[in-house]
A and B are shown apart, each in its own frame.
Chain A
Amino acid sequence: MTESNPIRSFLLGLLTWFIGLLFFFPVFWMVLNGFKEEADANTDPKLFFDPTLDRYRDIASGDQGLLSFGEAFTNSAWAVIVSTILVLILAVPAAYALSIRPVAKWRDVLFFFISTKFLPIVAAILPLWIIARELDILNTRLVLIVLYTAMNLPLAVWMLRSFFQEVPRELIEAAQLDGASLRGQITSVILPIAAPGLAATALLCVIFAWNEFFLAVQLNPVDGSTVPIWVTSNVSTRGNFLARLSAASTVATLPVLIAGWVAQKRMIRGLAMGAIK
Chain B
Amino acid sequence: MTTTAVPESIDDSPAPVTADEERRRHQRREAWRRRLPLLPALLFTIVVTQVPFLFSLWYSLTEWTIVPPSDREFIGFGNYTDLATNEFFRSALWTSVLMTVVSVLLSVVLGTALAVLLDRKFFGQGFVRTLLITPFLVMPVVAGLVWNNQILGSAFGVLNWLLETLGFGSVEFVSRFPLWSIVTVLVWQWTPFMMLIMLAGLQSQPDSVLEAARVDGASTSGIFFQITLPHLRPYLELGVLLGSIYLIQVFDHIDVMTGGGPDSTNVPYFVFQRSIGGGWRFGQASAYSIVVVVFSIIIATFGLRVLSGLLEGEDAA
Interface set, chain A 1-32, CB cutoff 8 A to B: 1, 3, 9-10, 12-13, 15-17, 19-21, 23-27, 29-30
| A273-B200 contact, Cβ under 8 Å, with A94-B40, A129-B276, A210-B139 | yes
Residue B133 interfacial (CB < 8 Å): yes
The 8 closest A-B pairs by CB, nearest first: A93-B37, A13-B122, A127-B55, A94-B41, A123-B289, A118-B300, A272-B200, A97-B38
18 A-B interface contacts by CB (under 8 A): A12-B122, A23-B188, A26-B151, A45-B158, A90-B40, A93-B38, A97-B37, A112-B42, A116-B50, A120-B293, A124-B53, A211-B140, A214-B249, A228-B139, A257-B134, A260-B133, A261-B133, A276-B310
Identify which of A21, A256, A272 contacts B131 (C-beta below 8 A).
A21
**B interface SS class:** helix
Chain B positions within 8 Å of A154 at CB level: 45
B140 and A213: CB pair below 8 A?
A: yes
Interface set, chain B 230-287, CB cutoff 8 A to A: 234-235, 238, 242, 245, 248-249, 251-252, 255-256, 267-268, 271-272, 275-276, 282, 285-286
| A126-B59 contact, Cβ under 8 Å, with A20-B132, A113-B45, A154-B45 | yes
Residue A150 interfacial (CB < 8 Å): yes
| A33-B44 contact, Cβ under 8 Å, with A122-B268, A125-B276 | no
Query: CB-nearest residue of chain B relative to A86?
Result: B44
B158 and A252: CB pair below 8 A?
A: no
Q: Which residues in A have some Cβ–Cβ distance to B below 8 Å?
A: 1, 3, 9-10, 12-13, 15-17, 19-21, 23-27, 29-30, 33, 41-45, 90-91, 93-94, 96-98, 101-104, 107, 109-131, 146-147, 149-150, 153-154, 157, 165, 182, 207, 210-211, 213-214, 217-218, 227-228, 231-232, 235, 242, 245-246, 249, 252-253, 256-257, 259-261, 264, 267-269, 271-273, 275-277
Query: CB-nearest residue of chain A relative to B283?
Result: A126
A111 and B52: CB pair below 8 A?
A: no
A276 and B238: CB pair below 8 A?
A: yes
Which segment, of B9-17, B83-91, B190-198, faces chain A?
B190-198
B251 and A213: CB pair below 8 A?
A: yes
Identify which of B135, B138, B307 contacts A114 (C-beta below 8 A).
B307
Identify which of A114, A123, A214, A235 contacts B56 (C-beta below 8 A).
A123
Residue B49 interfacial (CB < 8 Å): yes
Shortest CB-to-CB span from A98 to chain B, Å, is 7
Chain A positions within 8 Å of B119 at CB level: 1
Query: CB-nearest residue of chain A relative to B161?
Result: A45
Chain B positions within 8 Å of A29 at CB level: 146, 150-151, 158
Query: CB-nearest residue of chain B relative to A272?
Result: B200
Chain B positions within 8 Å of A116 at CB level: 45, 49-50
Residue B130 interfacial (CB < 8 Å): yes
B41 and A91: CB pair below 8 A?
A: yes
A120 and B122: CB pair below 8 A?
A: no
CA distance A213 to B80 in the complex (A): 29
CA distance A32 to B122 in the complex (A): 28
Identify which of B35, B53, B142, B210 contacts A252 (C-beta below 8 A).
B142
Chain B positions within 8 Å of A149 at CB level: 44, 48
CA distance A3 to B119 in the complex (A): 12
B35 and A97: CB pair below 8 A?
A: yes
Chain B positions within 8 Å of A267 at CB level: 196
B40 and A122: CB pair below 8 A?
A: no
B141 and A23: CB pair below 8 A?
A: no
A253 and B41: CB pair below 8 A?
A: no
B156 and A94: CB pair below 8 A?
A: no
Identify which of A13, A98, A150, A275 contacts B48 (C-beta below 8 A).
A150
CA distance A118 to B292 in the complex (A): 10
B38 and A94: CB pair below 8 A?
A: yes
Chain B positions within 8 Å of A90 at CB level: 40-41, 44
Identify which of A3, A126, A214, A275 contacts B286 (C-beta below 8 A).
A126
